[in-house]
A and B are shown apart, each in its own frame.
Chain A
Amino acid sequence: MTSQPQPERLGSEEVRHIAALCRIGLTDEEVEQMRDELTSLLGEVRVVQGVDTTGVEPTGHAVEVDSVMRDDEARPSMTVEEVLSNAPVREGDYIRVQAVLEE
């Protein structure tokens, strides 16, 4: 394992790009703060890049699991009332949302 140099401070454009990908709004001040915090966190985790993993298969789950199928049988599902019971804004039997298609 070799130690990695500290990564360069993340650019503000890069932080904005990441924030846009995961749809978290950030103020300009928060972008600046995240540049430092993410840079320091990336410095912490970059040490993995020093490990020789030639020919090593990745592990997704630590315990072997196969795809699980069930029989295609009809069975009860939640009622409309249950599904809508936590809706932030309800209109009749619908969830009200902002317009998706712009005019």
Chain B
Amino acid sequence: MATPLHYMSLRELSDALHRREVSSVELATAHLDRMEEVEPRLGAYLAVTGNLALGQAEEADRRLSEATGGPLTGVPMQLKDNISTTNVITTCASRMLEGYVPTYDATVTRRLAEAGAVLLGKGNMDEFAMGSSTENSAFKNAANPWDTARVPGGSSGGPAVAVAAGEAVFALGSDTGGSIRQPASLCGIVGLKPTYGLVSRYGLIAFASSLDQLGPLTRTVEDAAMVLNAVSGHDPLDSTSIAQAAPDYTKDLDQGVKGLRVGVVREYFGDAVDSGVARVTHQAIARLEELGAEVEWDVSLPMSDIALAVYYILAPSECSANLARYDGVKYGFSDQETDGMWAALEATRRHGFGPEVRRRILLGTYALSAGYYDAYYLKAQQVRTLIRQEFAAAFKKVDLLVTPTSPTTAFRLGERVHDPLAMHASDICTVPVNIAGIPGISVPCGFVDGLPVGLQLLGPHLSEPTLLRAAYAYQQSTDWHTHHPEL
């Protein structure tokens, strides 16, 4: 049976668009129809921009007819709802920004528009990207397309669901502690968190500025490389943007893994990791070995166990500073019922933020407050140095590290939502990567009881070409990415 349009890869659709076998308007319409069919069960979108999409698609078809389009021209996509889009509502899934309409584009929004990509709408997420299940969305839950009683992961749950269920060809998410990779893993797709600073954060509504990074969610590794090509590269509007030209990430994808040294990190296969997930991950690593990689089966990174604690000091601390701007004065939710400036401000923040966001602001404020700063925030920053050094030492011996992306497959809706510590444990395999600022990719590597499992590959700073090459070699030797949920 031929692959339906909504499950074809970005590469296939891009080629079909350029050969004029399909038009961008047809493609946008097919996706809007698909959304009408499955979206009521999935909740991947907070806003659908149908008319805008059709207008952009017409413009893309004009470019394609003049043969002036690029690889993304005419391709329908979704942006996570913390990415600023001029004249398109951007809420961060928070009551605090309900109705907020940006007057400027994020750099990634502008770059994708210039590349001719077509915006279908904004992706559901955990409020302000804080969470691992999308259940912290103030507006609605998202469901995992493989089992709608389960979570899609988070915080980029909407983007992961949209791509996994054929509601977008690709999506852009943000990853502060695993928010691209973990939902990609739970939904059976590819998710890439690039090196910190490779993709401009200008216009990404901030959560934890030293950890936040934007990246693609796609159905294939090649597609991830194509999207990265469009969004990466230096941006003068982001002072942490890496000042060097980004290469063509699709160029050496097919160079294979022969001779590549790959380390298996012992600490990522501890008690918290489900035995089925560990088994499937080991099989994937054995496949890399068959493909010619030199696998070092027992690499130890002892600081891994402390990374979660470091993360839950640094991220809330930075969040408490970043979210101080929501005062109900210039934009966003504003309590108008309470008398007195300070009382109104406290009411605005009490009602505008949901429970997890309030909890993190309070925790971060505590960690930064007089008397506790040295014991928590400064201490965590010092341990961060040790984690960074440990990764750097490992990458002197191996080219890449491999781990599971998530310790378990998708959990049930409601299962962890009232237990913050259990929810935090969803991130144990992904947070060390943000702390060290290195890139990581999750690629589908099998199923346990019908639910997808992701293999996480990690490399040193700016090793995206190697990372993508290894993930591509693995994906080409398997057919996991051709499995799609039945909806």
Contact = CB atoms under 8 A, between A and B. Distances in A.
Interface of A: 1, 15, 18-19, 21-26, 34, 37-38, 40-42, 44-49, 51, 53, 56-63, 65, 67-68, 70, 78, 82-83, 85-89, 95, 97-100
Nearest to B99: A86
A47 B365 CA distance: 19
B363 interface: yes
Interface of B: 100-101, 103-104, 195-197, 210, 236, 239-240, 242, 305-306, 308-310, 312-313, 320, 324, 327-334, 336, 339-347, 349-350, 353, 358-359, 361-363, 365-367, 369, 375-376, 378-386, 388, 420-421, 424, 435-438, 461
A13 to B, nearest CB: 13
A57 to B, nearest CB: 6
29 contacts: A22-B320, A23-B346, A24-B346, A24-B353, A44-B308, A44-B309, A47-B306, A48-B306, A49-B379, A51-B306, A53-B379, A53-B383, A56-B382, A56-B386, A57-B382, A59-B384, A59-B388, A60-B381, A62-B196, A62-B435, A62-B437, A62-B438, A63-B461, A68-B236, A68-B239, A83-B103, A86-B100, A87-B330, A88-B332
B385 A58 contact: yes
A87 B331 contact: yes
Q: 4 smallest A-B Cβ distances: which pairs?
A: A62-B437, A58-B381, A25-B346, A88-B334
Contact of A48 (B313, B320, B333, B438): B313
A8 to B, nearest CB: 14
Contacts of B344: 98
B303 to A, nearest CB: 8
Given A23-B346, A62-B388, 12 more contacts: A40-B421, A44-B309, A48-B376, A53-B386, A58-B384, A58-B385, A59-B381, A63-B197, A65-B239, A83-B103, A86-B330, A86-B331
Contact of B328 (A15, A18, A37, A88): A88
Main secondary structure of the interface of B (DSSP, over half): helix
Contacts of A57: 382, 385
B383 A85 contact: no
Given A1-B305, A48-B309, A88-B332, A21 B365 contact: yes
Contacts of B239: 65, 67-68
Nearest to A69: B239
A60 B321 CA distance: 14
B197 A65 contact: yes
A45 B306 CA distance: 9
